[in-house]
Copies of this chain bind each other. A is one copy, B any other.
Amino acid sequence: MTSVVPGATRNTRQRAQVLGLLEATDGFRSAQQLHASLRDGGAQVGLTTVYRTLQLLADAGEVDQMRLPDGEQLYRRCGGSRHHHHLVCRECGRAIEVEGPAVERWAQAQAVAHGFVDVDHTIEIVGTCADCAAR
């Protein structure tokens, strides 16, 4: 599997460009933002393709997803495959990966204590980063 996008069988210019932009971006971005950036950068990629590629990448675990309070979906390329959560700036989308083994255990323990199975959790810390706060 030497494909740019795991799960895909072909490597296309469009997929390489979407992934390339994600690699060059430090922060969560929406599909629409990514599409606009690609267009501004001269790349010829359809919005539909951006959505599809992001979905593929998300399914493959290559990008992390989160939702803004208004429901918009955001994506970000995350290096390691280790389980982690994010500290995200609500202004600029900048994200810092954080780990909290104790928190994971707490969540799991709570679920088990109430008889829940097939447990998952959503943990996100949002705030305003130092740069945006200073502005």
Contacts and interface: CB of A to CB of B under 8 A. Distances in A.
A123 interface: yes
Nearest to A98: B110
Contact of A117 (B122, B124, B128): B128
Contacts of A123: 107, 121-124
Interface string A114-125: 111111111111
List the number of copies, as a whole number.
2
Contacts of A121: 123-126
Interface string A61-79: 0000001000101000000
With most chain B CB atoms within 10 A of its CB, the pick from A96, A119, A127 is A127
A24 interface: no
Interface size grouping (class) on chain A: 20 to 34
Contacts of A87: 110-111, 114, 116
A73 B125 CA distance: 19
A100 interface: yes
Given A71-B71, A102-B102, A118 B128 contact: yes
Nearest to A124: B122
Interface in A78-135: 87, 89, 96, 98, 100, 102-103, 106-107, 110-111, 114-130, 133
